[in-house]
Amino acid sequence: MPLDPSFVGRTYPPTAPYQVGREKIREFATAIGATDAAYHDPAAARALGHADVVAPPTFPVVVTMESSRSQIVDDPALGVDYSRVVHGDQRFRYTRPIVAGDELVCVSTIEEITSRGGHDFLTIRSEVSTVAEEPVVSVWSKLVVRGEGG
Amino acid sequence: MDLPVKTYRVTRADLVRYAGASGDFNPIHWSQRFATGVGLPGVIAHGMFTMALTGRAVTEWAGRPDAVAEFSVRFARPVPVPDDDEGVEVQVAAVVKGVTDEGLTQLNLTVTSLGEKVLSQAKALVRLPG
């Protein structure tokens, strides 16, 4: 059954703050082979004008994936079959990079639901800001829910 | 202008490490049995891992880890990763498309594996010094 388009525009409550740890950024950078000193060494990050080590550009999904999953994908009223979900598109628009020490809150909105060729397309926008309401990054994820035949 | 192509080698061990670091434990990225059971050719890389490698290329070209203002991709095709020591290569190429009104440099990115495009509509806007 296609996803209910009346969910478009629905905004979910802010998530509990995510504490960005220096070791988490280092671990993520190491996992993707990113060796720039600003990802690992606070002094190198400070030399670029940041308070602590800088997260690589795709790090925000560590923060947004969990809230998209628990708030939206697993919302029984929306009824997404997670076993049929594949990642369609991903986009980030940064106000500034995430840095260690940030306490981040996500507010997610269902921006678009479309159905085509038996598949559903669900676009979630997550606005990531600090607990002090400083905007950090906007994250769009388009998920494809494959139809029964696909 | 074309930027120098970056090549990254991806093995199963890289996927396990990325799963732990990112928190994405979907078994299609580490279990051959599960992946083939849902109709995939085998274990595939996380789309976000391929995007992360592309982000590495972008920040390396830009010369700063904090230079990216916008970054977007479409996941066009999965990247199967064989269970051997060689893994598979992902190549990232870029063309400098121009400079926006806001002074950001647009890079149009081409990301391939085994000669096939794995990301499409991939682009980044970066802040270059000067």
Tens digits of residue pLDDT in B57-66: 999 999 999 9
Per-residue pLDDT band at B25 (split at 50, 70, 90): very high
The reported pLDDT for the residue numbered A147 is: 84
Chain A: closest CA distance from residue B107 (Å): 14
Q: Mark yes or no for CB contact B65/A38 under 8 Å.
A: yes
Percent of chain A with pLDDT over 70: 98
Contacts of B59 in chain A (CB under 8 A): 34, 36, 56-57
Tens digits of residue pLDDT in A26-71: 999 999 999 999 999 999 999 999 999 999 999 999 999 988 888 9
Tens digits of residue pLDDT in B60-109: 999 999 999 999 999 999 999 999 999 999 999 999 999 999 999 999 99
Q: Mark yes or no for CB contact B21/A31 under 8 Å.
A: yes
Tens digits of residue pLDDT in B36-61: 998 899 999 999 999 999 999 999 99
* Mean predicted confidence (pLDDT) in A102-120: 96
Per-residue pLDDT band at B21 (split at 50, 70, 90): very high
Nearest CA in chain B to A37: B65
The reported pLDDT for the residue numbered B17 is: 98
CB nearest A58 (choices: B20, B51, B121) = B51
The reported pLDDT for the residue numbered B79 is: 98
B2 pLDDT higher than 90: no
* Mean predicted confidence (pLDDT) in A96-106: 98
Segment holding B44, helix H or strand E: none
A148 pLDDT higher than 80: no
Q: Mark yes or no for CB contact B48/A58 under 8 Å.
A: yes
* Mean predicted confidence (pLDDT) in B15-30: 96
Say if B49 is an interface residue toward chain A (CB within 8 Å). yes
And the tokens for B64? 């700063």
User: Which of B30, B50, B66 should one mutate to test binding to chain A, selecting the residue with the greatest count of A CBs within 10 A?
Assistant: B66
**pTM here?**
0.96
Query: Facing residues of A116 across strands?
Result: A119
And the tokens for B49? 């891992």
Contacts of A46 in chain B (CB under 8 A): none
* Mean predicted confidence (pLDDT) in A96-110: 98
Instruction: Write the CA distances from A67 to A13, A15, A49, B47, B54, integer angstroms.
Output: 10, 7, 30, 18, 24
- Written in H, E and C, the secondary structure of A85-149 is EEEEEEEEEECCCCECCCEEEEEEEEEEEEEECCEEEEEEEEEEEECCCCEEEEEEEEEEECCCC
Per-residue pLDDT band at B114 (split at 50, 70, 90): very high
Say if B55 is an interface residue toward chain A (CB within 8 Å). yes
Integer Cα distance of B78 and A113 in angstroms: 23
Cβ neighbours of A41 (radius 10 Å)? 13
CA dihedral angle for residue A83, residue A110, residue A127, residue A95, rounded to 10 degrees = 100
CB pairs under 8 A between A and B: 103
CB distance A122 to A3 below 8 Å? yes
Chain B: closest CA distance from residue A138 (Å): 9
Q: Mark yes or no for CB contact B53/A50 under 8 Å.
A: no
CB distance A28 to A56 below 8 Å? yes
Per-residue pLDDT band at A149 (split at 50, 70, 90): low
Per-residue pLDDT band at A90 (split at 50, 70, 90): very high
Q: Mark yes or no for CB contact B65/A66 under 8 Å.
A: no
The reported pLDDT for the residue numbered A69 is: 87
The reported pLDDT for the residue numbered A145 is: 93
Q: Mark yes or no for CB contact A89/B121 under 8 Å.
A: yes
